[in-house]
Structure 1
Amino acid sequence: MLILTIWPLFALICLGFLLSRRGWPDPGFWPAAEKLNYFLLFPALLVSSLANAPLTDPAILRMGGAALVAISLAALALWALRRFVLPARPARYGPAFQGVVRFNTYIGLAVTAGLTGTAGLGQAAVYLAIAVPFVNVLSIMALSEQTGLRAAPAMARSILTNPLILACLAGIALTLSGIGLPLGTDRFLDLMGRASLPLGLLCVGAALRPEALRQDFLPLVGIGALRLIAMPLFAAFIAGAMGLTGTEALVMVVFSAIPVAPTAYVLTRQLGGDGTLMAGLVTSQTLAAVATIPLVLWLLGMG
């Protein structure tokens, strides 16, 4: 059953929340653990997954194209909604935009691994290599309303300093060059990567802010419905239209069904956005996803 695959992942998130609220092991532990995972363990998982990914498979290339199409069309729809129906300043529009198109990589890889085993991690890593930089650029534009050359420095900095993007590029380069991971480096990175997902899920729980749910109830519900229900159904439609099946279609849907990433809160604060709204979106979507992910996968027959 899908719920038997999903609930242990969210149990880790709940455990992280409870531990952080109890102040254990120490309040300074969680920022340090998140930094360790973000800059070291999770990149190791991406490199080791991509080093064995079938990058020349046409289905992989179609999945990358489908990811760009789905995210682009969703972004255009949000722009049109803001332009013609619900005007909003960047401080509010930026969090709302991220709440629909941005995704939690830890939960996405954990769900993919739970449903496919390690076999699907290569496809998931390819999806991240394509979608993460694209979503980061779009998020910066939504928060700052900068376009063209004015936005170029912030976009370049976002890409060149993002360890997930750099890890994806390194993994792809190792695969395409034929070097791979020789001399035991595959085992070394695999051991590091194994620690990434459970630690990442614990850190997701530690980052939850239930107090942020006390306001913006209607925006939280509406944006959550778009992210957790509409986006995966739309992704499934795009996947079918582009001939994706099996693991590639599953990865498309999973990464469209997972909640927004806590790192969206950091970017929102850095660019002067509404941090309370962003924190509420992260918390509400993470809590709701324990029910919506298995529901969507069941409706689409992907369980």
Structure 2
Amino acid sequence: MNIVMALFPLIILIAMGYLLKQTRFVTDDFWGNSEKLNYFILFPSLLFLNLSNVELDLATVSSMLGILILVILLAAIALFVVKKIYNIPVQRFGVYMQSQVRFNTYIGLSLMASLFGPKGMQMFAMLIAVAIPLVNILSVLALSSLSWNTLGKTVISITRNPLILGCIVGVSFNLLDLGVMESIEQLVKLLAAMSLPLGLLSVGAALQFDQFKTNISGLLMNVFGRLLIMPILAFAVCQAFHLSHLESMILVVFFSLPTASAAYILTRYFHGDSELMAGIISLQTLCFALTFPLLMSLFF
């Protein structure tokens, strides 16, 4: 499918969310409540549904998983080195970490279905089963002042993360070959079906442009790192390990995604620089519509 056509419904839903928020077609309370609903119930249901039913062929995607972990850890290590050199405060460093290692799963799942069909969705589901816990742990660590006094809060935040729990429960049901009642499965499917469109609308509603006037250079550096450096690094590693064309495409698409809109929620929870996080999410989401077709035409 044409890249532009695959992006079209995503862009429209994001634009709708932005216009609905700006015109106050629905109250501001709706967006906060819908994000909370999606983060704690709908999106974990989607993760559970995908991971409990997917055919977990780890042997097939072992190379992809290895490269996924390698690229994420390389980025995280580089950021920790930069933090040490420039003495970056935790409130801002947590934003930088999330802007580079987290990914917008709503956009990713929508793209995989459009571009690669069921096979791509299956491979992507196995990737996010590993990626979501990993990037959430890195994000919590980056937002925390690591000490014995804060260790308990950090561990509790990781274990209570609904996205991590959704992945763990979904994979557990899959590996143990546990079934659910048909009526419950239908309920989970209905909840999961609401997640992607509501999530994309919420991405649009969360777009904020105030930071563009005061911190444009910092915002552009984060956009450049996430939307260009990360996918280029992923492509280079894929070529070094001789991955197949489809595997390379899926990994490059994964690392081409803008950061997660849920990063704003986590940043606020840990009292990080939430305004900067909102600006980064907004600019990355906008620029993604330009950088993604460029990368696809360049590499594939």
Return the TM-score normalized by structure 1: 0.90
Answer yes or no: is the 8 Å Cα contact 1:6–1:294 preserved in 2.
no
Identify the residue that residue 44 of structure 1 maps to in structure 2: 45
Opposite residue 58 of structure 1, the aligned amino acid is: A
Matched to 2:174, the amino acid is T
Following TM superposition, by how much is the alpha carbon of 1:132 offset from its aligned partner in structure 2, in angstroms?
1.7
Q: Report the aligned-residue RMSD.
A: 2.2
Amino acid at match of 2:240: A
**SS of the residue 2:26 aligns to:** coil
Shift of 1:9: 0.3
Q: Matches of 2:187 and 2:71 in 1, distance apart?
A: 35
Report the CA distance shift for 1:155/1:291 in structure 2 as closer, same or farther (over 3 A). Answer: same
For structure 1, the 5+ residue unaligned runs are none
SS of corresponding position for 2:95: helix
Q: Which residue of 1 aligns with 2:127?
A: 127
CA distance in 2, matches of 1:22, 1:200: 19
Q: Is the 8 A contact 1:41 1:192 kept in 2?
A: yes
Query: Match for residue 64 of structure 2?
Result: 63
SS at match of 2:284: helix
| Aligned counterparts of 1:181 and 1:137: Cα–Cα separation in 2 | 29
Separation (CA, whole Å) in 2 of partners of 1:167 and 1:267 = 17
11-20 or 72-81: bigger deviation: 72-81
Q: Contact 1:52–1:122 at 8 Å: present in 2 too? A: no
User: Aligned pair in 2 of structure 1 residues 274, 34: CA closer, same or farther (>3 Å)?
Assistant: closer
How many pairs align?
299
Per the TM alignment, residue 23 of structure 1 is displaced from its structure 2 partner at its CA by 1.2
Deviations 1:174-214 (A, max 9, x none): 21112245535444433332221111100111111112222
Please show how residues 135-174 of structure 1 align to structure 2 within 5 Å.
135-146=135-146, 152-174=151-173
- Deviation track 1:31-76 (CA, whole Å, cap 9, x = no partner) reads 2222222222222221221123221341223322222111101111
Q: Is the 8 A contact 1:51 1:181 kept in 2?
A: no
- How far the C-alpha of 1:298 sits from its partner, in A, is 2.0
- Residues 1:241 and 2:240 aligned together: yes
Superposed, 1:89-104 pairs within 5 Å as 89-104=89-104
Matched ranges for 1:146-225 at <5 A = 146=146, 152-181=151-180, 183=182, 185-225=184-224
Query: 2:124 is aligned with what amino acid?
Result: A
CA distance 1:152–1:237, shift in 2 (3 Å): farther
SS for the counterpart of 1:51 is helix
Output the CA distance in 2 between the equivalents of 1:248 and 1:180: 30
Whether the 8 Å CA contact 2:133–2:163 is kept in 1: the answer is: no
Q: Contact 2:51 / 2:129 at 8 angstroms: preserved in 1? A: no
Specify the alignment match of 1:257 in structure 2: 256
Once residues 153 and 122 of structure 1 are traced to their aligned partners in structure 2, the CA distance between those partners, rounded to angstroms, is 35
Cα distance in 2, alignment partners of residues 292 and 105 from structure 1: 17
- Whole-Å separation in 2 of the counterparts to 1:181 and 1:191: 15
For residues 217-271 of structure 1, what are the alpha-carbon distances to aligned partners after superposition, in whole Å with 9 as ceiling and x for unaligned?
A: 1111111100000101112223333453355433322221111122222222332
Which position in structure 1 is the counterpart of 2:88? 88
**SS at 1:83 equivalent:** helix
Amino acid at match of 2:260: A
Answer yes or no: is the 8 Å Cα contact 1:50–1:171 preserved in 2: yes
One-letter code of the match for 2:105? Answer: T
Per-residue CA deviations over 1:58-100 (Å, capped at 9, x if unaligned) read: 122332222211110111122223434x442222222122211
Are the equivalent residues in 2 in contact too, given 1:50–1:175 (CA < 8 A)?
yes
Which structure 2 residue ranges, 5 or more long, are not aligned?
none
TM-score (norm 2): 0.90
| Residues 10, 110 of structure 2: 8 Å contact kept | yes
- Name the counterpart of 1:18: 19
What amino acid is aligned across from residue 127 of structure 1 in structure 2?
Answer: L
